[in-house]
Structure 1
């Protein structure tokens, strides 16, 4: 048995963990077969077109124009991370940390700390970085890294409003580099 609610509960969770849950709910495929099928399906759809959430591209362009580097921190495999960056507005990502990297996975702070290192940011300065996450494991990861963490509540069916984030936003309309800077300044005041 598998339904949309169970699928949403797996959002932001490593694929093998979701596959394990599917096996626990009666799927007869192996964890590896399920994982490969899930990744292959998402890859096919995303290589056709990334389904950008309204306003995300504007936020990325605002950060680029302000000289603020953006890093993608994802548990997705490398080919999916690279495809997303290739379809983003040119020059908006400085790099990525992905599920294929030799780093602990979310909810560990390791992926965010690795992203900071790639940008030359010391762990004690992560509080000046902002992370926007929509899953609880992502919120825990970002917050544990020390980053100023925003919970994105606009697109999840699971309530993450009581997570470890500094603040929450509901969508990306009106979010700019200046808006994000205000959150960082408020948290570190």
Structure 2
């Protein structure tokens, strides 16, 4: 296989957790004098929580950025500890990669406790992770993906042989800027990402195994 590694985003790519974030945003805004709805939540999908908090304050929420950051992360973390909403088929895809000896890294803007909860519940399907608490710029900067590659000993010039799986424009921009073969997962997101910088798009994980992802790499490198 030409495929060297796969880097997976978390929310909306590995687990269908965006609704949890939106529910938490709506609850906080409603309880503290603001207005928020699912459409506003989707507009902020993929952005770091402090940026989301700024938008919530613009819509009337009286909490500070720091208070929103702490309370929103706690809301989602508690929900994910009770049950992880795995996207259908994703664990089979990850297992196929593991069986093929392809390392998979979780690359998320979520804080370390959330990333470690995923690592624990994934049962070894991810080799390691990069999270929002690591000392690097956040998506859409490519730094998280380049850091993940560095952890695996993959040089920047070999990023084309790696696959990034993402769902939001923010994540797709980060993946593409890293040089990786970037694939948009469209099965959970409401935003139309067809104009994004990805090499290809998939709608769910049916038929997406190590060989299929290797095929995307080969197609891209052949261009």
Q: CA RMSD in A?
A: 0.7
TM-score for both structures, normalised by structure 2 = 0.83
Within 2, Cα distance between the matches of 1:6 and 1:126?
34
For the pair 1:152 / 2:185, whether they are aligned, the reply is: yes
Q: Which among 129, 138, 142 is matched to residue 105 of structure 1? A: 138
Q: Gaps (5+ residues) in structure 2?
A: 1-34
* Cα offset, 1:91, TM superposition: 2.1
For the pair 1:40 / 2:70, whether they are aligned, the reply is: no
Q: Aligned residue for 2:153?
A: 120
Quick one: higher RCO (CA 8 Å, sep 6+), 1 or 2? 2
Instruction: Give the SS at the match of 1:12.
Output: coil
Within 2, Cα distance between the matches of 1:86 and 1:161?
33
Q: Aligned residue for 1:187?
A: 220
Instruction: Tell me how many residue pairs correspond in the alignment.
Output: 188
For the pair 1:25 / 2:65, whether they are aligned, the reply is: no
Cα deviations across residues 103-143 of structure 1 (Å, max 9, x unaligned)? 00000010000000000000010000001100111000010
Q: Which among 45, 51, 59 is matched to residue 85 of structure 2? A: 51
TM-score for both structures, normalised by structure 1 = 0.98
Moved over 3 A (4+): none
* Cα offset, 1:174, TM superposition: 1.3
Q: Gaps (5+ residues) in structure 1?
A: none
